[in-house]
A and B are shown apart, each in its own frame.
Chain A
Amino acid sequence: MIDSKERASKLSYLPPKTDWMDTPTVYKEGMYCYAAKPSRLEYMDAPYPKDWSCMDEDWQLPENWKEIILEGMKERLEKYRTFKIFMDICVRCGACADKCHFFIGTGDPKNMPVLRAELLRSVYRNNFTKAGKILGRIGGARELTIDVLKEWWYYFFQCTECRRCSVFCPYGIDTAEITIIGRELLNLLGLNIDWIAAPVAFCFRTGNHMGIQPHAFVDMLDFFTDEIENVTGVRMEQTFNKKGADLLFICPSGDVFGDPGTFTCMGYMILMHYLREVHGLDCTWSTYASEGGNFGLFTSHETMKRLNAKMYAEAERLKVKWILGAECGHMWRVINQYMVTMNGPADFLEEPVNPLTGTKFENAKATKMVHITEFLSDLIQHKKLDLDPSRNDRLKVTFHDSCNPARGAGILEEPRHVIKNVCNHFYEMPRNCIREQTFCCGCGSGLNAGEDMELRMTGGMPRGNAVRYVNELHGVNTLACICAIDRAVLPTLMGYWAPEVDVCGISELVANALIIPGEKEKTENLRGEPILRKDVEPDEWYTRPDFPGREE
């Protein structure tokens, strides 16, 4: 892969000479994910499973594929007001054009949100509007052909459903919604990517995207228990599938499985141990509902509902009071905007109250699910955690707002409140790159595969650039986030665009700052890195050659 500087210098935002309808879609290596294997679709009873590659000439479509798509569009126009209105009212003002990280990173005009939507809109006009039928091409209409279908597949899997464009649209047109429906249509023909279809099938069967079976899930956490004991000197046993626990705790399985999410997972475990030992609050893990994330959201509304159903089912079975949800991006889009509508009402749960502080989580009284940073913020505000933020002094932290908590919920200040109480050095990235204007990691919505690295590095360019900026300005060395996909993909992205920056979850920072009863004198954090000695200035420490992460 070309180096980041060279990539940026080659970028051009000038559109090609030919009109977009006349510009054929060329599948570029590294810009797409592999096609879904038939076994995944079969497991979900999804239509038209087949062994195929997007590079094949013949996509093995059923004979009436056009009919299926058009019928699917008709059905969705009748079911979703969003879809119908977004197809009709765009004026092509262009305000969204340079808001998309994929457009900024690639310069490909079909990555402008407006054109991504036009790919679908042109077919809508042709088949569902009078003006389109009469005026044809002049009215922006075009026939649905196999090339159009292939164009959809390429570009609907080059959108991370991050909704940044929707913030700037004067009519609130949400490209995520258009992509969601576009992918739903493609799925009617069995045209998914494997990186989405596999986690979906795994999650349906084993309860989590990684396909970790119950005994292995317990093994993983046992392994972390040993790790934690090494660092803290305290053995922190966890409970699983425990009936009558106070809270059910659900985290994205990415944190259980891959570095550096595993340190966040250890953070959850330390927090739960602390709550049990110090405050007598009993949180249980579930192996059945062992996934917070929901790749169904990237497949179809129905798949999303099928996977999400486990959360309430398990909470009801275990007779807990309410559910505590961990750090995950699209998981919280689903919980905040879909869950109770799809699988509620959750009458069997209590309206969430923090038993330690008495705080009522008014904003979660229907869903009965609380975000861990809301919970942590409450504990910190009421001084229920014994914290020593100086243990994080070697870290200069900035916060990456994950797209979905930011633009699909508005969880902006809670994580910041937590970070500022567990770290002494916090710096914001520039205003246009955070909060509701935050940039995607470039890998959301199921695009965090290995084969589309080119796409990931281009899409992550604006985020990488902003981190690089605070790295150069303030010496920021840690990028905190509340999303498991972020934790999985940002290290690679940082390696490419901002090489001196590590990635971590907020619970990891909390756990490192937490003073645990009975702990040994701490010299290392969860990663085995030495924590800052009291006699060294952070700035001096950071420039020393023995500073962790400096050896390469």
Chain B
Amino acid sequence: MKKILMNLLLVSSLFSQTFTFSAIPDQDETKLKERFSKLAVYLSKELNVDAKFVPIKSYSASIAAFRNKQLQLAWFGGFSGVKARLIVPNSMAIAQGVEDTEFRSYIIANVKTGLTSSDKFPKGLEGRTFTFGSKGSTSGRLMPEFFIREHLNKAPSKVFSKVGYSGNHTKTISLVQSGAYEVGAVNYKVWDAGIKAGTIDTSKVKIIWTTPTYPDYQFTVHGDLDDTYGKGFTAKLKATILNLKDKAILESFNRSGFIEAKNSDYAPILSVGKSTGLID
């Protein structure tokens, strides 16, 4: 029965082809769904395709889905984007948020640790319990790990008494706030949005350090979209994203706008990935 319906849908979609996209699950799923369902409506209208967002549970699964061509477009982090483009020939970054050229991570600590905020890399981290976000996250894993190694000349597992991986940024904040972990690394956008929404209890958890900036999130597409969706489609897709002015969508992305991106913008991430041994 469902198949028949699906076929009917397919027939009707001859006029507008399905265009599937997804994102890395870097924060709460409801927030992601809200953000990307708005984007789906916008893309469907502007590009005359049936744009569909599919939620994916893990960073690696979103890379796998992109690789298997189950996704045509993906909103990757710096790290996941670099990994995806390494294994998918001809795939390319097309757009990034204005803020993504200068992204940051916060190192946060439970207030009871007595750690204080400083401009320099914080002292007294040794021997604490520490949580990253997802293992595949740029702002919650790769870059914090890089800065920790850079300043302390040791792998995180040697610096901290315990190293965990909370899964996403929202969870990192709640685990450090509850004191399950003493210190954590988090995406600055997710933290700032939480402060704005009042979901973070600043009497329990606070920022102790802000990392230097690095390039992060971007939209990545397959190199052969034009073969499927017609000549000039990729260029049109790119223009559509760059021209995005809808306040509600931009707000759900926590971005002020989108600008052009190319693969080479992420060379710093690739070299950090290689130096930390997380990319071969």
A pairs with B: no
